[in-house]
Every structure is written in structure tokens, then in C-alpha cells.
Chains A and B, each alone.
Chain A
């Protein structure tokens, strides 16, 4: 497992964190990597906290367990920050990416002194602007690709176009909005 990157997703049931983790696995796979994308299934229901995972590596991945010391954490819903220990085991040379409009002071206080990098994006704004509905997973996917740098913006955009054409074969009207959300999110994610 050379150059292994481990990512943990925190979201709420229905927000598409699992789908985002699978799309990230797809995108990394298309760059020639070895990948894993898997959710931690619990008592699934709308609104309940859920966790999903990614491993991305240059060589085959044999480990089949949850991820306890991730390089990156993605928080799809900032209401989880006070109820879930999202930085548990997160490497200090890694980063956390949060969908939020909250202040830097607030975030630093709820992240209990996490020393790594903190990135934020207003995925609600991106989604409402581009899709007219709140689907935070597409902007969050773009945000984590940008932060990890696992592929270039151009390669990612090109790859997602193919993925969406496949995924939304029966609803082609949503492809453009999702592509716009990807492009906008790549520019909106910022470090605090």
C-alpha cells in the first residue's frame, strides 16, 4: 500500500456521503490507482450520522477494516461537529474539509485544538446556485479532490463528466448542474 491516502467521510443519511465516497473511488480508479470505497452500515435512516471511507493507493490494498487514523476527513454536515468526534485519529499533517458557513473561531473551538489544516466550503450555496436544490455531496467531492490533490482539476472535471453521463443516464437534465457545482466548488474551497 504505497502512497496510501485514507479518507473518512461524516455525513447524515440522505446527504449522499456514501455516493460521494464511491464517486471519489471511481475518479481515483480512473487515474490508475488501487481504491476502496465503502460505507459503514449502521441502522440507516434519513438524518442519522453515517460514516464512509476511502483508501487510495499506488499498490494493491489488502486491509479490510474501518479507518482509524485518516489522512483526511470530510464533514458533509456541520451540525455533526458538536456530536461526533470528527477529528478522532486524524493525522496532524492531514486536513479536515467542512461544509459550513460558521466562523473560524467556532470551528477551531469545536475541533478541540486540531493542529492540522482546516478547509471550508459553503456547499449549500454551491448546490443551490447550480442545482436549485440542496445536494452537498457533489461540491464536497470536488472540495476533497482539490485538498488532497489526487488529480488535477482538469482531469477530475473530465472524469466526472463521464461518470455523471453514466450515473444520470435516465436524468440527463441534472448533468450540467452537477458539472457546474463541481467547477464552482473547486474554486470555493478555502483554508482558514
Chain B
């Protein structure tokens, strides 16, 4: 039976890791994810888990230790944020190309510089093409649930890719909220044991991991990674189905909130989706057909499914909590609009870069986006497709 509790997003993530009881956790502290390895190390010290906790000297080493552990045949986890992920960069690609299903909790924070410890998605967006599965979480509950589903997805034989569970730094990582937790024994049963097909410590099958891979094979290996990422979509859905049968909590590739009959839709990820739901409800009371599409699975990107879900809208706004600084638009916007284009769906769509460096996102800001969308739907005139939301101007607005 589910247990009613109140935990912060970091507490919930550490709690999930305790229940998963991985063989190895290697981590280096960085705000705002520090509490996850901190709480977890307490579980290690108290004997609540039998994990080998490796207190490394840097994030590069944290990811390297996870790679070594997974290659050896163990289940490894880590947690980090922003510049910690930046320092892992080299090893992030090694992990995915060696097909090691490491699971990471990424507590999203702005990548320096200048130095900022608060939330945006620039850390996650920096590794969006690295071959990791990326799940985003609206709140503590989703951060917890996504971690419970993570190993079933990552370790599936058709997938074998590393996976990161993202949540918003401070906004959900440090906010105490209600949550439903599952029993230890039930989690253990659901997550299962990791039985790798090939691993270094298998005496019966001597293998090399990570040798030189030149013109003759690298291309094919990259195509295999791409295939695995495609396969992940169905595995994610199958896992969510089993998870729902167990907990009653439903997950898909994305969540549609009052989207079916909506004319004006926002697409966004993580905690802002919650504020958008509140805004949608208020606008619906006024008879405005507002809706929301919250992306949960960002990699693999459900391009066709999202495009179809938005096809009946009259205007769409994609909210990016990271600026791509490319003079064209944020990463989520580019993904959504290219998905619409190749699927012959032509709905006026604009981009808002918002919430950078922890800039608060009140519901009034979200409401202003729907107001803009109503105007676009009425006139058919997109104007500038690449906009800001919540940016201070010279006039002091």
C-alpha cells in the first residue's frame, strides 16, 4: 500500500535510491543536488543499503567510477547539477556509447557563467544529444516515480542506455510537498535485479570494453545507439503501464492537460507545468480553451506524438528554460516545431525563453503567454517567433 508522506524532491530522490539499493553510488557534491548523495551516504553509514559509496574528488571521476562499475556488471547511480554535469561531459558520452545503463539524478541548475546556483535547464540541454534517456519531473512525486522506473527502462535488453531523471533545482528539490511512497519490498520487486548479458567480471566470457573504434565500425555502433534510443520509447511506455498497474499513477511520453479540445496550448517541462495547470484551470473558468502539453520523455523525443497532440490547436507556445543562444530558438522549440513540420502539421508556434538563472515564474507570466496566443490565433500573425518571458526591460518592467 502507498504511504502518505511529505518530502522535498531531493529527499524523495535519495529515498528512491535507498529502495533501489544499487551496487555502487559515486558522487561529488554540488548545489542543489548535494543533499541526494548526502542523505544517501547516511543510508550507507546506517546500513540501510549495502551499496559501495565512492566519495570521489570530482564529477569526472564520479561518472568514471559509475562507468567502471557498470562495465564490471554492477548497477551504478549518481547525482549532480550544472557544472558538475559539465565536468562529466567527456564521460557522459563514454557511458552511453559503451551501452552502460547508469542512472543519474540531475537536479537542474544554470550552467555558469556568470556563477548562478539556481534553476534553469541549461545543464540538461547541454547533454541532449549525448545518447542518454532524459525524463523530466514536475514535482517530488514524479522525481521519485521516474527513478523507480529508471532501471527497468535503461537495463532493458532492447535499450541498454544510461538514463537521467531531471527535476528543477530548489523549486522542487528543496520544496517540502506531499508525496505517495511505495513499500520497500514492492519497489525491490518492481525494479528487479540487474543481470547484464556481457560484463567484465564474467570469467566465462572475456571481453574488452571501450577499445579503439575507427572508420570500419564507429558509424555502425552509433546507428545501434540510435536504434536503442528509438526502442526506448516503447519500453518507457511498457514500464509505465506496469507502474500504473502497481501504483495507480499514470505516465506517458508526455502529459496532456485539458489539451484534447484546447485552442491555445503551452508546451513546457518540469515544475512550470504545475503552475501552467493552475493557469489553465483559471482560464477555463473564463471560457478560454487553454491547454498544456508537459514533456516527460525528452530523449527519446516523441516528435510525431507531440506534433499530433498539438495538431488541432490554433496557436502553440513552447517554453524553453534554457536559451540556445543561436539566434533561432530554444532546444525544445526547435524539436517541437521540426516534429510538426515533418509530420505536415502547420499550427502557428512561438518560442519563449523563460526562468533563466532561477527567475521566478508566476502564474501571471503564464497567463500572459495565453493572452499572446489568443492574439496569434485571432490574427494568424506570429510576429517575432523567438521571445522572452519574464525578462526585465530598460523601462523597469
Give residues in A with beta carbon < 8 Å to B.
1, 22, 25-26, 29, 34-39, 41, 60-66, 68
B128 interfacial by beta-carbon distance below 8 Å:
no
B123 interfacial by beta-carbon distance below 8 Å:
no
A18 smallest CB distance to B (angstroms): 9
In residues 115-145 of chain B, which contact A (Cβ within 8 Å)? 117-118, 138-139
Residue pair B177, A36 in contact (C-beta under 8 Å): yes
Cα A138 to Cα B274 with chains together (Å):
31
**Interface size (B, Cβ < 8 Å)?**
25
A162 smallest CB distance to B (angstroms): 14
The 9 closest A-B pairs by CB, nearest first: A38-B175, A62-B274, A64-B271, A37-B176, A29-B6, A65-B362, A62-B277, A63-B278, A64-B274
In residues 134-182 of chain B, which contact A (Cβ within 8 Å)? 138-139, 168, 170-172, 174-178
Residue pair A65, B117 in contact (C-beta under 8 Å): no
B275 interfacial by beta-carbon distance below 8 Å:
yes
Q: Which residues of B contact A66 (CB under 8 A)?
A: 360, 362
B272 interfacial by beta-carbon distance below 8 Å:
yes
B34 interfacial by beta-carbon distance below 8 Å:
no
Q: A62-B277, A64-B274 are in contact. List 16 more A-B contacts (CB 8 A).
A: A1-B278, A22-B176, A26-B176, A35-B176, A36-B177, A41-B117, A62-B139, A62-B275, A63-B274, A63-B278, A64-B139, A64-B361, A65-B360, A65-B361, A65-B363, A66-B362
Residue pair A65, B275 in contact (C-beta under 8 Å): yes
Residue pair A62, B178 in contact (C-beta under 8 Å): no
Chain A residue at minimal CB-CB distance from B170: A41
Cα A38 to Cα B138 with chains together (Å):
16
With beta carbons under 8 angstroms apart, the residue of B138, B172, B271, B362 that contacts A68 is B362
Residue pair A25, B6 in contact (C-beta under 8 Å): yes
A64 smallest CB distance to B (angstroms): 4
Residue pair B362, A41 in contact (C-beta under 8 Å): no
Q: Which residues of B contact A25 (CB under 8 A)?
A: 6, 176
Cα A38 to Cα B172 with chains together (Å):
9
